[in-house]
Amino acid sequence: MNPKELVPNLSISPQLSIADIAEAKARGFLSVIVNRPDAEEPGQPTIAEMREAARTAGLGFAAIPIVPGKATVEDAAKFSSALGALDGPVIAYCRTGVRAATLWALSAGASIEPDELLQRIAAAGYDLSGLRPRLEALYGSDQPSGKPDAGKHR
């Protein structure tokens, strides 16, 4: 498990295993968001298995499965809602972390300048420069958007 922090209460990660859920708890995460659909590749844990692992570990859980390259503003609104409902810090994951980063960027896009969003994502090791036109269209718009920090505070 190699989570990368985007903002203080949100980190993203490539695919987590069932065993990684206990490690996430040990590292201080309070919730998990899955952004990967079931059966994307053989052997990946299902959403139901990850939900049960999170429940057993005492972690909050949400599933917002996204097909690669198909994240919508509506998906980002669901991501933002999950971040608002779950205790943080939150770890969100997909196969590589790109979908989780994309959903966060789109959820925060109306309130954070595109350059800052892309810099935070680049600092986590991801290049989402292709998302710039969508982020520029969102910035300052009245589109539903998340707040820059993720997860409610305890």
Tens digits of residue pLDDT in 66-119: 999 899 989 999 999 999 999 999 999 999 999 999 999 999 887 889 999 999
Is residue 149, in this structure, part of any structural domain at all?
no
Quick one: 150 exposed, middle or buried, by C-beta within 10 A (0-12, 13-18, 19+)?
Answer: buried
Q: The domain spanning residue 114 has which CATH number?
A: 3.90.190.10
Tell me which DSSP letter residue 77 carries: H
Is residue 48, in this structure, part of any structural domain at all?
yes
Tell me which DSSP letter residue 118 carries: H
Asked if the model's pLDDT at residue 9 lies above 90, the reply is yes
pTM over 0.85: yes
Q: How far apart are CA 122 and CA 87, in angstroms?
A: 25
Is residue 118, in this structure, part of any structural domain at all?
yes
> pLDDT, tens digit, for every residue of 16-69?
999 999 999 999 999 999 999 999 999 999 999 999 999 999 999 999 999 998
- pLDDT class for 15, splitting at 50, 70, 90? very high
Is residue 146, in this structure, part of any structural domain at all?
no
Strands 90-93 and 31-34: parallel
- pLDDT class for 145, splitting at 50, 70, 90? very low
Q: State which residues form the domain around 84.
A: 4-138
Nearest to 2 by CA among 23, 31, 33, 22: 23
Which one is predicted more confidently, 134 or 149?
134
Q: How far apart are CA 127 and CA 121, in angstroms?
A: 7
